[in-house]
A and B are shown apart, each in its own frame.
Chain A
């Protein structure tokens, strides 16, 4: 058995790593997997960068930010496997939500109108709204910015974005320190269940296939240990397939104190895709609320890394340059995914880059080993991201 340590945060989307260990997938591959529970992204990043663990459950934008030297000590990271797609929700206080469309379902179903309503509600609110985000370099923050900027909101001018750990969001909302927050589940559902907030937007309705968590390695370690990395990816791929098919048992495992440590009934909304938007309302179905395996979810499309890069440029986090663009694209290692899973009995995408946001219906795409159907991946504003024309894409946003 080869010992291997992976750091994770106690979130529902750490599921694939936890299932890999608990359902014996890593053991079958001869890996003795230790999962290191961590309570902040900063500590998770430090454990990875300073070689205390071999890999980590990372926010995809954070892996790119660390590589570009935007988050403390720079280190070249590599993400050959995506651990999840989608899973976030924006919850706003009941007071703020009262200024939006009174029907929570139409807010969710019409994110264009909801963004404009949000912009109008900012002016009606008694202060500049303070919105909690989990990290500057999170998919949550990028999604929120993308959505609101559509309605002419400058998130840096018209809002106060405050970084808070997800577990403290509900308390901050109760104390009136924030007016809403965007976080991974179960936190938005907890705020709704406590009668504090309404879910006014969900990640999957902003970008139907939003990149969420990745498995991050230090690139040098990953390159020095190809055989072990391959075995791990095989185990994770099997675990992801298991997670998609066994969500109730998965919830039981995640609920344990050493993992997510939340009751099953709090974990199930995200895993089953049934969310209550407003206190007392019936649950609404989101069939693609959180994905682990189907549609080759784990495949790290280099175009997705470049979309993240484009947003970092858009919001002034990084100066655009060819070197930075290449470094960002190189974080998503589709080549390693191909090598590790070449023999696996599952469809392998034929390409490594694609237009992001071009599919509005399930579409069959070129693949090896059988057929691969990708789900709809459009952005709510119908923009299409062409990774070969980032400048033009950025110019299409009127702001910044």
Chain B
């Protein structure tokens, strides 16, 4: 069974491809949705095409599926229209699946289930990564604010932090917001931020 993944996020496609290989599928191709991708796809004659729902080139793909004379059998979205729960889960996960006509649904369902799980896992990973990046950036901001206080008011690091925290509590703001305000003010006043 030939599976083509159309995706321009290298990482997400890799995550999905790996999962499919672990599950025993070995005829997998990743095609980025760049110019001319439909011609490439047509030559590959896939059985299943998986594509990110958020990709603007979905209309281009569907047009190819509608008019292609090269494909021996028509390919249409989802195999089992009666399984609304699965389709809903796929849309929530952000994935669309096109399946060649005549492929039995028992053979396709595991692929789509796996794609849904992997897409969701990828989205979680992305969120965690974003959160980690934000946390790191916030820590750096607070460190800079502490350094300003330590230099300008001769405080220890612990006291500088305590001052930031109590100011934040008094003003009902987040520590990082107070730290940012302090850095801005300091640079306006000509201090070393």
Chain A contacts to B: CB under 8 angstroms: 39-43, 46-47, 50-52, 71-73, 134-136, 162-165, 167-168, 172, 175, 177
Contacts and interface: CB of A to CB of B under 8 A. Distances in A.
Interface stretch (B60-68, B122-130, B156-164): B60-68
A50 B88 contact: yes
Contact of B77 (A47, A73, A162, A163): A73
Interface string B85-106: 0011001100010000000000
Nearest to A177: B35
Nearest to A168: B56
Nearest to A178: B35
B88 A167 contact: no
Contacts of B81: 73
A286 B76 CA distance: 42
A42 B35 contact: no
Given A52-B91, A175-B35, A43 B63 contact: no
A43 B88 contact: no
Given A72-B77, A136-B63, A177-B35, A40 B88 contact: no
Contact of B58 (A42, A162, A167): A42
A172 B35 CA distance: 8
Contacts, number: 64
A388 to B, nearest CB: 32
Given A72-B77, A135-B59, A167-B56, A42 B96 contact: yes
A164 B63 CA distance: 9
B55 interface: yes
A43 B96 contact: yes
A162 B61 CA distance: 11
A40 B35 contact: no
Minimum-distance CB pairs A-B, first 9: A165-B56, A163-B63, A40-B58, A42-B58, A39-B56, A72-B77, A43-B53, A40-B59, A163-B60
Contact of B88 (A41, A52, A135, A163): A52
Nearest to A165: B56
